[in-house]
Amino acid sequence: VWATLFSLRERALPELEKARQAKQIGKSLDAVLHFDLLPAESSAAQAHQEELRELANVSGVFIHVAEDPATVGVRVQMASELGWPKCERCWHYEADVGQHASHPSLCGRCVAVLS
C-alpha cells in the first residue's frame, strides 16, 4: 500500500509545481488533488485517502475511477474553490472550520488536539 501511495505522491508533485509556477496556488496546502485512477489503484487510494493527503501535504484528496487508461492522471484545484475556510492553526482548508463554538476559526482536527 505504501508503495502505491508514494507513487501517487510522485505523480502529484510535478502537477503541484506546475500550478505553483502558474500562480494558481501559493503553497501545496492551497490545493486539493483529484486523482483519476484505474479501479485497482483507486481502491487502495480510497482506503488511505488521509495518508495520501498528508504525504502530498495538500488540503484534500479526491479519488475518481477512470475506466479508460488514457484518462488516468492528477488534477490540481484551489481548495478555496470548494468554499472551505482555512484553519488558522494548521493552515489546511477544511469543510468543518467554524463548526466548533469553542474554536470558531479551527478545523475539527485542531479542535481535537486542543481539547
Q: What does the pLDDT read at residue 52?
A: 96
Query: Does 1 have pLDDT greater than 90?
Result: no
What pLDDT sits at residue 115? 86
pTM of the entire predicted model? 0.90
Angle at the Cα of 61 (from 95 to 10), degrees rounded to 5?
150
